[in-house]
Structure 1
Amino acid sequence: MQPKEISLEFGTVYIHENILIAKLNEGILFDLESNQKLLDIGSEVFQNENYAYISHRVNSYAVDPMVYIESASAKNLKAIAVVSENEMTRRNAEEVEKKFYKDNNCFEAFQTLEEAVRWIETRI
C-alpha cells in the first residue's frame, strides 16, 4: 500500500496501515497546537482502530514535552516511537520525553524506521 502524504505547515505526515509517521521541519517547536493537529489526523484516519505514531527525526527541532501528556489521552493511540540516527536525540527521547508519556512501555526510541515498525507491530 502506498502511504498517503499530508503536508502541514510544520512538517509532513505519512499514513500507513496503522501508523502515522511524521517528518517535522528543521528548527520548529513541536507544541500542543501542532500535536493536536496530528491527533486530529489520527482520530479521523483511524477512527476507532488502534494506531501508533512514529516521529522520524531527520531534522533537528524542539519538542514541548507536554505533547506527551496530551497524546496519552488519545484512546486508540497505542504506541509512540522516536527514530533518529543521532544518539543524543534518542537518548533525550528515552531519558526526558518518555517520562511525560503515561505508559512508559509504549514509548521507545530507535535508530531505524524498520526497528520502530517491528516494535510497533508487537504493540498494536
Structure 2
Amino acid sequence: MRAKEIKLEFGSVYTHDNILIAKLDEGILFDVESNQKLLDLGSEIFLGKNYGYISHRVNSYAVDPMVYLESANAKNLKAIAVVSENEMTRRNAEVVEKKFYKDNNCFEVFQTLEEAFAWIKTRI
C-alpha cells in the first residue's frame, strides 16, 4: 500500500498499511483537541482495525502530555512511536511523555523510521 498524505491545520499525516505517521508543523502546540482529530482520523481510516501511530518529529513543537491519557483510551490504537534524530527530543519523549501513556510497553522512542516501523509491526 502506498503512503497517502492528509493535510491538517497543524501538520501532515500519512497512512502506510496500518500505521498513521504524523509530521507536525514547526512551533505548534499539539494539544488534546489536535490529538482528538488524529484519533478520529485513525478510527475513520482503519475502520475498527488495530493500528499504530508514529510521531515523526522533524520539526520542533510542544506536546501537551495529556494527549497520551486520551490516546491510551483509544481502543484500536495499539502502539505509539516517537522518531527523532534530535537526542534532546528523544530524551524528553522517553523521560516525560512516556510516563503519561498508560501502557509503557506500547510507547517507544526511536532514531529512525525504519526502527519504529519494525517495532510497531510487532505490536499490532
Distance 2:70 2:47 in 1: 18
Paired position in structure 1 for 2:78: 78
Per-residue CA deviation, residues 31-68 of structure 1 (Å, 9 max, x unaligned), is 01100000000000112110000000000000000000
Distance 1:19 1:87 in 2: 24
Alignment of 1:90-109 (within 5 A): 90-109=90-109
RMSD (Å) for aligned C-alpha atoms: 0.5
Paired position in structure 1 for 2:36: 36
Tell me the number of residue pairs that the alignment of Structure 1 and Structure 2 aligns: 124
Distance 1:56 1:67 in 2: 16
Give the TM-score, by structure 2 length: 0.99
Aligned-pair identity (%):
83
SS in 1 for 2:55: strand
Give the TM-score, by structure 1 length: 0.99
Distance 1:41 1:123 in 2: 20
Q: Which runs of 4+ in 1 moved over 3 A?
A: none
**Letter matched to residue 60 of structure 2:** S
**Letter matched to residue 5 of structure 1:** E
Runs of 5+ in structure 2 lacking a partner?
A: none
Distance 2:88 2:109 in 1: 11
**Letter matched to residue 12 of structure 2:** T
Alignment of 1:9-88 (within 5 A): 9-88=9-88
Distance 2:106 2:35 in 1: 18
Runs of 5+ in structure 1 lacking a partner?
A: none
Q: Give the drift of 1:4.
A: 1.1
SS in 2 for 1:49: coil
